[in-house]
């Protein structure tokens, strides 16, 4: 953990430059707009420790899988959203010396991410080795309105001299990925042009043949007056730039405005990219920085009107939830059903920027409750669009009859994870996708989705489950062998309880949906397309009735897998702090033999199907597994927070909320340097809305079971529910709900029904037998 971020309700602020924190800060201060993203690298040259990152959604490279052996069904590549043209670069020379903060005496340094306006700000005062002292100020954004726009305002003020300052704004396509195998390069130059009016660079990925064209235009002003400085052009391989020389006066601010248009063959024909990029960047240039930024800022203000969460009397919690919401909306906007959400989003290289089951389990709940209906629908449809490839993937592994195993990791529907224990064994991802269909329809009421897309997916997943279990003669039950659950500190186990629960539930849910759909006119087309036979239901019902679940009768808990109690059960609290995190300090052999749980496993299943378990069952399992959980996955604390809220463990719920909310801001797991944990940020939102507010769907109605951390005086949030827009405020003694829509709605508050009329407000006491006037 490293707490260097200043507390502020609307901004993330770093004061003073500490090079050892720079890669962490580059992640934390990242910006994006769902179309592209940019790490908070310095515009000027920096020779210190840095991870360059400019990313474009959907543009990827199939990096060769690097293993010393091969098995049937093993992926041939690991797909990754690759580092693309560096468009932010502006090299600075002061009287001939290159400005580099790694080689300067730094007097002042400040970096700020203004979340309310969506801007990255930075200022520094430094002295170079030639004795010249300057102040630099930068403001950068990628537009929420014009998705292909990135723009920078970069100012240099000489503080103790008059002299020549050179600006070199550039586009650099000769970039690399730090994690590339075999030192591969991913881009080749297709076209470029540099003139004093406009410059562009078009590059293409090797193998996948994605084209990206970035065009730029620049202006230089002094005290607001446009200058006509000496300018020359530079063209090298994969590189175009201007060299702009200006005579600077002491105390006078020189300001460079750089505008770029980033276009890709994901959205346009490759042959049209240059003309489109030139036209777009010329339009941005004509509007000017202030106009473009105002439109962008207004878009963010509107976004906050729809999705802000307010917390009273806890600045640490307030800053954190806004940061999590901000990064979620920077990563995914739902405009394009071919895009999804990578665990690191557009903030780093780890996990390749591709899709995991995190999307369905942790991100879908956020988007379906805060965004327009098509946003969450597109997340689900992403999987439907890849159904055929999921079936192909299952076939490679020996499954048949249209069974589908969705990939653990993908960007195009093909499996591309390169660790066998996950590729072949972590099959619970199928269950998360099935559950997401249920979760979405239950909340939104969009029953059309089931017949249009959902049922085909459910049938294919159910067929996989049918073939994946086997009958055990000794147990006289269906068992599940050789799997990995969400707790990846266990591999190749038998009868993981969570995965078994998903199998049972998916089969039951699929049967129910088939019965409901069988009277609809479109059902026969699904039967024909899937070659469904009603005899399949007989087999599924047999599995449901005879599936094995590992339990312990003495402890009255569900066992994570067979043999779990054979481990030496030592609570995490007994571990020496120098042993943590164990994934960095221990051998894999030691981890696999230990009792320690990386993330919620049994508790993940209890969270998803909590309506099937009574209070005492949830409490017993929580009190057994929570002390053994090291939370070394970003996806873990939120589930523990929600369950702790449900069973009345307020302090634990708050502790786990802060852990998930400030995971990156405080670098809790010591791994923020290679990117943020974007998908877990959906879990942070869930910790408040499902945890503290207790939001559930019961009997097709919205219900709340509110609690509030002792430190908070109130919290407020906004949700959308079936055409209604509700603003909810929870205080220690009351819940206040405003209906901003024209839709009447029934609400359950602590099991009591309340009718909320259109455009109305209600205040309900949370104290038993107490009324509110």
Q: Which residues pair with 236 in a beta bridge?
A: 239
Dig out the tokens for 739 from the structure.
Answer: 């209906």
Choose the catalytic residue: 44, 414, 488, 504.
488
Q: Are 368 and 702 in contact (CB under 8 A)?
A: no
Helical (H) or strand (E) element with 240: strand 239-248
Phi first, then psi, for residue 406 (nearest 5°) are: -70, 150
Dig out the tokens for 54 from the structure.
Answer: 């400019």
Residues 6+ apart with CB under 8 A from 651: 710
Q: How would you class 475 by CB atoms within 10 Å of its CB: exposed for 0-12, middle for 13-18, buried for 19 or more?
A: exposed
Nearest 5°: the CA angle 467, 473, 477 is: 60
Residue identified by tokens 């490293």 is: 2
DSSP 99: P
Residues 6+ apart with CB under 8 A from 495: 479, 480, 481, 548, 549, 550, 561, 562
Q: How far is CA 454 from the centre of its chain?
A: 24
DSSP 483: B
SS3 for 20? helix
Cα–Cα distances (Å) from 278 to 83, 85, 131, 292, in that order, read 22, 16, 41, 17
Q: Is 488 a catalytic residue?
A: yes
Taking the C-alpha atoms of residue 310 and residue 717, their distance in angstroms, rounded to an integer, is 7
Cα–Cα distances (Å) from 768 to 535, 729, 734, 748, in that order, read 52, 18, 11, 15
Taking the C-alpha atoms of residue 767 and residue 770, their distance in angstroms, rounded to an integer, is 6
Identify which of 87, 142, 80 has the alpha carbon closest to the alpha carbon of residue 349: 80
Helical (H) or strand (E) element with 172: strand 163-172
Residues 6+ apart with CB under 8 A from 448: none
Residues 6+ apart with CB under 8 A from 496: 428, 480, 483, 484, 485, 490, 560, 561, 601
Dig out the tokens for 203 from the structure.
Answer: 């590059």
Taking the C-alpha atoms of residue 367 and residue 328, their distance in angstroms, rounded to an integer, is 9
The Cβ-side half-sphere exposure at 488, using a 13 Å CA radius, reads: 18
Identify which of 381, 371, 390 has the alpha carbon closest to the alpha carbon of residue 325: 371
Identify which of 347, 368, 448, 478 has the alpha carbon closest to the alpha carbon of residue 23: 347
Sheet holding 163-172, edge to edge: 97-98, 90-94, 163-172, 239-248, 230-236
Q: Are 123 and 135 in contact (CB under 8 A)?
A: yes
Taking the C-alpha atoms of residue 388 and residue 676, their distance in angstroms, rounded to an integer, is 32
360: left (phi over 0), alpha (psi -120 to 50) or beta: alpha
Report the first-to-last Cα separation within the chain, whole angstroms. Answer: 47
Q: Which stretches of 533-668 are DSSP H helices? A: 535-546, 582-585, 588-593, 602-608, 615-625, 637-646, 650-661
Helical (H) or strand (E) element with 190: strand 187-194
Taking the C-alpha atoms of residue 357 and residue 370, their distance in angstroms, rounded to an integer, is 20
Q: Are 186 and 205 in contact (CB under 8 A)?
A: yes
Catalogue the active-site residues.
488
């Amino acid at each position: 953990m490293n707490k260097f971020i200043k507390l502020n309700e609307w901004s993330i602020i770093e004061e003073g430059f500490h090079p050892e924190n720079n890669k962490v800060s580059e992640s934390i201060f990242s910006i994006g707009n769902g179309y592209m993203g940019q790490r908070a690298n310095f515009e000027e040259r920096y020779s210190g420790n840095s991870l360059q990152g400019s990313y474009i959604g959907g543009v990827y490279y199939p990096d060769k899988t690097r293993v010393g052996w091969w098995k049937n069904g093993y992926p041939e590549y690991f797909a990754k959203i690759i580092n693309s043209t560096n468009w932010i670069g502006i090299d600075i020379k002061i009287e001939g010396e290159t400005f580099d903060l790694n080689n300067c005496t730094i007097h002042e340094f400040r970096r700020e991410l203004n979340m309310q306006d969506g801007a990255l700000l930075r200022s520094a005062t430094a002295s170079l080795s030639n004795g010249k002292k300057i102040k630099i100020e930068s403001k950068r954004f990628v537009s929420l309105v014009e998705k292909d726009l990135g723009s920078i305002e970069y100012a240099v003020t000489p503080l103790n001299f008059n002299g020549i300052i050179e600006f070199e704004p550039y586009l650099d396509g000769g970039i690399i990925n730090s994690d590339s195998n075999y030192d591969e390069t991913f881009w080749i130059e297709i076209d470029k042009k540099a003139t004093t009016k406009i410059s562009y660079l078009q590059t293409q990925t090797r193998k996948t043949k994605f084209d990206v064209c970035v065009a730029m235009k620049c202006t230089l002003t002094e005290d607001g007056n446009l200058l006509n400085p000496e300018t020359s052009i530079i063209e090298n391989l994969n590189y175009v730039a201007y060299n702009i020389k200006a005579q600077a006066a002491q105390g006078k601010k020189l300001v460079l405005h750089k505008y770029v248009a980033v276009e890709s063959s994901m959205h346009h024909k490759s042959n049209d990219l240059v003309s489109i990029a030139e036209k777009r960047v010329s339009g941005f240039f004509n509007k000017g920085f202030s106009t473009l930024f105002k439109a962008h800022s207004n878009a963010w203000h509107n976004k906050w009107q729809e999705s802000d969460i307010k917390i009273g009397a806890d600045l640490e919690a307030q800053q954190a939830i806004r940061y999590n919401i901000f990064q979620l909306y920077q990563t995914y906007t739902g405009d394009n059903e071919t895009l999804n959400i990578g665990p690191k989003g557009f903030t780093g290289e780890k996990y390749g920027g591709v899709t995991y089951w995190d999307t369905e389990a942790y991100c879908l709940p956020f988007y379906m409750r805060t965004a327009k209906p098509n946003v969450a629908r597109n997340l689900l449809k992403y999987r439907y669009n890849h159904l055929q490839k999921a079936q192909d993937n299952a076939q490679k592994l020996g499954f048949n009859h249209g069974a589908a195993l969705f990939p653990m990791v993908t960007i195009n529907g093909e499996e591309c994870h390169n660790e066998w224990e996950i590729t072949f064994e972590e099959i619970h991802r199928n269950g998360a996708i099935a559950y997401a269909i249920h979760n979405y329809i239950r909340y939104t009421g969009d029953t059309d989705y089931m017949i249009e897309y959902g049922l085909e997916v459910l049938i294919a997943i159910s067929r996989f489950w049918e073939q994946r279990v086997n009958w055990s003669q000794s147990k006289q039950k269906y068992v599940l062998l050789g799997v990995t659950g969400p707790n990846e500190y266990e591999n190749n186990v038998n009868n993981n309880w969570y995965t078994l629960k998903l199998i049972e539930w998916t089969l039951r849910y699929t049967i129910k949906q088939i019965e409901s759909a069988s009277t609809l006119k479109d059902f026969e087309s699904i039967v024909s397309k899937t070659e469904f036979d009603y005899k399949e239901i007989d087999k599924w019902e047999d599995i449901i009735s005879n599936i094995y679940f590992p339990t312990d009768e003495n402890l009255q808990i569900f066992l994570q897998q067979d043999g779990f109690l054979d481990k030496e059960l030592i609570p995490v609290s007994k571990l020496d702090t120098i042993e943590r995190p164990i994934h960095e300090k221990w051998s894999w052999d030691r981890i696999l033999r230990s009792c320690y749980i990386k993330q919620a496993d049994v508790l993940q299943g209890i969270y998803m199907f909590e309506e099937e378990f009574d209070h005492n069952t949830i409490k017993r399992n929580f009190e057994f597994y929570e002390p053994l959980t090291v939370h070394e996955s970003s996806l873990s604390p939120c589930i523990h927070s929600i369950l702790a809220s449900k069973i009345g463990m307020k302090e634990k719920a708050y502790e786990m909320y802060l852990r998930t909310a400030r995971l990156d801001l405080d670098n809790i797991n010591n791994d923020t340097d290679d990117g943020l944990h974007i998908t877990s940020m959906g879990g942070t939102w869930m910790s408040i809305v499902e945890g503290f507010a207790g939001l559930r769907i019961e009997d097709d109605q919205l219900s709340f079971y509110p609690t509030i951390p002792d430190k908070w005086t109130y919290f407020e949030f906004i949700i959308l529910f079936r055409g209604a827009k509700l603003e909810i405020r929870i205080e220690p003694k009351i819940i206040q709900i405003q209906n901003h829509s024209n839709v009447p709605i029934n609400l359950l508050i602590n099991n009591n029904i309340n009718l909320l009329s259109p455009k109305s407000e209600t205040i309900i006491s949370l104290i038993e037998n107490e009324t509110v006037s």
